Amino acid sequence: MYCKVCGDENEGYRIFGIYMCKRCFNKLETVSIDDEDYDEYKNLIRILLSYYISKELNPVN
Ligand SMILES: [Zn+2]
């Protein structure tokens, strides 16, 4: 499956109903507020949540 975050085809997990590869998942797990990439991952989480919310609001008929 293709990762919804980075678009690569990697082994990973299904989180909030979307597919995320291990690499992106590890990044999310290990990122800290002090990390210079933190803002990037805040955006990433926002993307994940928007996928989740839009799925909830627009159930597939
Ligand atoms: Zn990924």
Position 9 pLDDT exceeds 90: yes
Residue 51 lies in a domain: yes
| Average pLDDT rounded to a whole number, residues 15-22 | 84
Q: Extract the tokens encoding 36.
A: 């210079």
Residue 5 lies in a domain: no
Rounded CA-CA distance 55/31 in Å is 26
Ligand 1 center to 10 CA (angstroms)? 7
Task: Give exposure, 3-36, as e/b (b: 16+ Cβ within 10 Å).
Answer: bbbeeeebebeebeebbbbeebbebeeebeeeee
Compute the mean pLDDT over every residue in the chain, rounded to the nearest whole number.
82
Asked if residue 53 is part of any domain, the answer here is yes
pLDDT tens sequence across 27-55: 888 888 888 888 888 887 888 788 777 76
In which domain, by residue range, is 49 found?
Answer: 12-57
Task: Domain count for the chain, please give it.
Answer: 1
Q: Phi and psi of 23, rounded to 5°?
A: -60, -50
Cβ-based neighbours of 10, under 8 Å, separated by 6 or more: 3, 21, 22, 23
Q: Is residue 6 part of a domain?
A: no
Residues with CB under 5 A from ligand 1 (ion): 3, 5-6, 21, 24
Please indicate, yes or no, if residue 7 is contained in any of the structural domains. no
> Residue 19 C-alpha to ligand 1 middle, in angstroms?
8
